[in-house]
Amino acid sequence: MIRTRFAPSPTGYMHIGNLRTALYEFLIAKSQGGKFILRIEDTDQARYVEGATDIIYKTLEMSGITHDEGPDVGGDYGPYVQSERKNDYIEYAKQLIEKGEAYYCFCTKERLESLRSEVNGESITHYDRHCLHLSKEEIENNLKNGVPFVIRQKIKDGTTTFHDEVYGDITVDNSEMEDQILIKADGYPTYNFANVIDDHLMNITHVVRGSEYLSSTPKYNLLYEAFGWEIPTYIHLPAVMKDQHNKLSKRNGDASFQDLVAKGYLPKAIINYIALLGWSPSVNQEIFTMDELIKIFDIKGLSKSPAIFDIVKLTWMNGEYIKMMPFDEFYEKAEPYLKESVRSGVDLKMLAGFIQTRIGTFRDIAEMVDFVDTLPEYSVDLYTHKKMKTNPEIAVSSLKLSIPFLKEIEEWTNENLYAKLVELAQANEMKNGQILWPVRTALSGKPTSPCGATELCVLLGKEETIKRLEKGLAMLEG
What are the catalytic residues?
250
Residue 44 CA, distance from chain mean position:
23
Packed helices 453-460 and 432-444: angle between N→C axes, nearest 10 degrees: 40
Give the CB-side neighbour count of residue 75, counting CA atoms within 13 A.
22
CB atoms under 10 Å from CB of 93, counted, come to 21
Q: What is the sign, positive or negative, of the torsion defined by CA atoms of 25, 27, 33, 37?
A: positive
Mark 122-138 as b/e (b = at least 16 C-beta within 10 Å).
eeeeebeeebeebeeee
Packed helices 392-407 and 432-444: angle between N→C axes, nearest 10 degrees: 80
Taking alpha carbons only, the member of 1, 2, 85 closest to residue 39 is 85
What are residue 258's DSSP bridge partners?
none
163 neighbors 115 (Cβ within 8 angstroms): no
| Interatomic CA distance for residues 39 and 3, integer angstroms | 12
| Interatomic CA distance for residues 132 and 404, integer angstroms | 97
Interior angle at CA 253, CA 249 and CA 257, nearest 5: 75
- List C-alpha distances in Å: 105 to 99, 129, 185, 418: 16, 8, 10, 85
Q: What is the sign, positive or negative, of the torsion defined by CA atoms of 447, 453, 459, 460?
A: positive
| Interatomic CA distance for residues 447 and 429, integer angstroms | 25
Interior angle at CA 122, CA 121 and CA 126, nearest 5: 135
φ/ψ bin of 103: left (φ > 0), alpha (ψ from -120 to 50), beta (otherwise)? beta
Taking alpha carbons only, the member of 6, 39, 26 closest to residue 66 is 26
| Interatomic CA distance for residues 397 and 395, integer angstroms | 5
| Interatomic CA distance for residues 336 and 399, integer angstroms | 35
CB atoms under 10 Å from CB of 309, counted, come to 20
443 neighbors 465 (Cβ within 8 angstroms): yes
